[in-house]
Amino acid sequence: MIMPLPLTLGEAELRWALDKSGARRVIAEADLPTVFSSLPPPSAQTPVGPAPAPNPPADPQRIVEIALTSGTTGLPKLAALSAKLKQATFEGFTSRLEVTEADRVLVMSPLTQGIGGMCLFCLRLGAGLIMLHEPRFNPATVLRLAAEHRATMLVGVPTNVFRLLESPALDPAALRGARVTAVAGAPMPPDLAARWEDRTGSRVCIFYGSMDAGQLSVGSPSDPREKRHHTVGRPHDCCEVMVTEEGEICMRGDTVQERYWGEEFGPQAADGWVHMGDLGRLDEDGYLVVSGRSKDLIIRGGSNINPHEVEQVLRSHPAIADACVVGRPDADLGERAVAFVVARQGLRPPTLESVQEHLAAQGMARYKWPEELRAVPEIPLGGPGKVDRKALRETLLT
């Protein structure tokens, strides 16, 4: 059993994942975080006993991977992925993208992210993987590797596509063999998809799902251009979709985990469906259209930021009495986090640098840090005493 750990996690989150999962081995590079040094030595981790059978009986319900969810309610949960679930995902992913042994897949996302990890499935069909080994996304490197290895597929998040388009190194000739660009993790603006296809000829296909619920749909390069740009494809044959009266997308099927690791419950609601927290509809041809989010989640470059988690840590800053974090639309990353803070009585509002230092000291991952700070006399309330996030977002647009 494996548990990939995102490189973006802070030490507090890493320690939580290790403790919760009961991890007994860590495979990492030499400059691994100091949190790993707290694990028991190998001799204390390996029980003495007979060697396991070389070919254990196949069990489709056996848990083969633990995956960290996106943490939409604070700390992430641990998704328990069975062999049956992984097989269903493999079949849906590769068939919709028409993957063959002739493909060379350039993976722009970390293997520890959902869409990056799914690329490993391509190896089972004999396709090749081209991996990046840089701490930050570099458009010039991606374009060089695409040309050198004659990549036929690019896989990443919409932010990758935006930055490639803005790069002076972009040469459409280097991507002439890239038949597909598959994206997930954040909304893909239709105009961005159109610009990319018009410039490179690579057809954009969009994934939809979540780490909690699993993969629901994937666009196909054989789909009409309008469907590829404005929908997330048709739901997989092994999945069912229901849209509630309120317009929320719900799913169930073989790609959904039964329960979280170490828990007696899974992502399903009492009605047996997984409620995705997104609004959408099925069009007349059975394609799924996602129109927006029903939650307050901020999606920055494909990574989820729970504003409530950030606000809780902000309020522990010695100069902050209250705080609210909302997303500002951003053409590059999709959204960036902005913190509205109320200073403690008699104190001056903190600087952005002071706030970021505080978040770092508390072990919060860097991508969750607010990138703009606004001091306000009070946090506006609306309705029955709830924070009026809409009003704060509107101030960012004026």
| pLDDT bracket for residue 44 (50, 70, 90) | very low
Mean pLDDT of the 25-38 span: 70
Residue 372 has what pLDDT? 97
Residue 74 has what pLDDT? 59
* Cβ atoms 182, 205 nearer than 8 A: yes
Task: Quickly list DSSP for 314-366.
Answer: HTTSTTEEEEEEEEEEETTTEEEEEEEEEEPTTSPPPPHHHHHHHHHHTT--G
Coil, helix or strand for 242?
strand
Residue 27 has what pLDDT? 82
- Least confident piece of the model among 53-57, 61-65, 90-94, 375-379: 53-57
Q: Is the pLDDT of residue 50 over 70?
A: no
Q: How far apart are CA 109 and CA 181, in angstroms?
A: 12
- Alpha carbon distance, N-terminus to C-terminus of the chain: 50
| pLDDT bracket for residue 32 (50, 70, 90) | low
Partners of 386 in the beta sheet? Answer: 382
Q: How far apart are CA 375 and CA 352, in angstroms?
A: 10
- Least confident piece of the model among 31-45, 159-173, 369-383: 31-45
Partners of 324 in the beta sheet? Answer: 340
Q: Is the pLDDT of residue 337 over 90?
A: yes
Tens-place pLDDT, residues 211-226: 889 999 999 999 999 9
Coil, helix or strand for 35?
helix
Tens-place pLDDT, residues 227-249: 999 999 999 999 999 999 988 99
Q: Is the pLDDT of residue 324 over 80?
A: yes
Written as six digits, the tokens of 125 are: 């069909």
Q: How far apart are CA 235 and CA 208, in angstroms?
A: 9
Mean pLDDT of the 127-148 span: 92
From 82, 109, 79, 85, select the one nearest 17 (Cα to Cα).
79
Which residue has 């970021």 as its token pair?
Answer: 356
| Helix 190-200 and helix 158-166, axial crossing angle in degrees, nearest 10 | 50
* Cβ atoms 288, 232 nearer than 8 A: yes
Residue 43 has what pLDDT? 45
Residue 333 has what pLDDT? 93
Residue 57 has what pLDDT? 76
Top-confidence residue, 344 or 126 = 126
- Report the run of H or E that residue 61 belongs to, with start and end: none
Domains and CATH numbers, the chain: 100-250+271-293 (3.40.50.12780), 298-396 (3.30.300.30)
Residue 72 has what pLDDT? 47
- Report the run of H or E that residue 160 belongs to, with start and end: helix 158-166
Q: How far apart are CA 80 and CA 67, in angstroms?
A: 7
Q: How far apart are CA 339 and CA 379, in angstroms?
A: 11
Residue 230 has what pLDDT? 95
Q: Is the pLDDT of residue 53 over 70?
A: no
* Cβ atoms 157, 301 nearer than 8 A: yes
Mean pLDDT of the 259-267 span: 93
Q: How far apart are CA 212 and CA 67, in angstroms?
A: 9
Tens-place pLDDT, residues 162-213: 889 889 999 998 899 999 999 998 778 888 899 999 999 999 999 999 888 9
